[in-house]
Amino acid sequence: MYKFAVLVGVCSLLLVIPTLTWRNKAIDDSWDDDDEAWLQGDDPAVVDDIDETPDEKPETGDNEAAPTNNNGVSFVKQRFHYNSIMQLNGRINDSLSTSYTYLTIAFYFDRADVALPGFHKFLMEASEKERKDATKLMAYINKRGGWFKLRRIVAEEKTWTTGLQVLEYMLEHERFMNDNYLYTHKVASESSDGHLTDFLEGEFLEPRVEFIKKLGGYITQLKSFSKDYNLGEYIFDEQL
């Protein structure tokens, strides 16, 4: 009986190992070299395409340079220009990267030696909002028959100190993202994509302007505690 069990064990291992190897190979093969380059971030041409040189892309707005896994969706594509799709891919990256950074900051405020629960909550919400923005963009791209490809997310290498420093960082970063959205809007207008410009205005541009105003207000309040910043920050945190 014991020998039989060992035999069965060995046989199933012999079966499982080749199957796993074959499976991994299949996954490897589904990534072509361009995918690799994109993931490694070492293809400057691809990165430049995203934000700087939309005019040099093919005029047809079709999928020549698109990732290879886009088969089967392009039949719903109409007036959805290549440049717009590239722009939206860039905005997805902005949102996911920002969500990641805000999450890190949220848990900085949660540390026992920092302990600012109001800031923790505020940053958690901001992080969640960015993640939702990214999913909204992905759903929109699918609806229009485009494609997207997630890029590597790089953590922000910064040291977080006070609530004021974080809010100032957020303000600067939100302005940067707003600029990117304005540019995406411009690219969409160039191909007369009214559907996309409407979507961008309603879902992203307007809310972002509101958020930037809110951050500006918070910064003014925190700066007014110049005599005893720590006490001021503590009181401010309770209200967040």
Ligand X SMILES: *[C@@H]1O[C@H](CO)[C@@H](O)[C@H](O)[C@H]1NC(C)=O
Binding-site residues for Fe cation, in ranges, read 130, 174
- Residues at the interface with ligand X (CB under 6 A): 41, 47, 50, 90, 93-94, 97-98, 151
Smallest distance from ligand X to CB 226, Å: 31
Smallest distance from ligand X to CB 234, Å: 31
**91 φ, ψ (degrees, to nearest 5):** -70, -35
Smallest distance from ligand X to CB 13, Å: 43
Give which of 95, 122, 93 is closest to 208, Cα–Cα. 95
Nearer to ligand X, 92 or 222 (CB): 92
Nearer to ligand X, 47 or 103 (CB): 47
Residues 6+ apart with CB under 8 A from 229: 162, 164, 222
Smallest distance from ligand X to CB 41, Å: 6
Smallest distance from ligand X to CB 153, Å: 7
Nearer to ligand X, 94 or 133 (CB): 94
Nearer to ligand X, 41 or 217 (CB): 41
Nearer to ligand X, 164 or 177 (CB): 177
Known binding residues are 130, 174
Determine how many CB atoms are found less than 10 A away from the CB of residue 190. 13
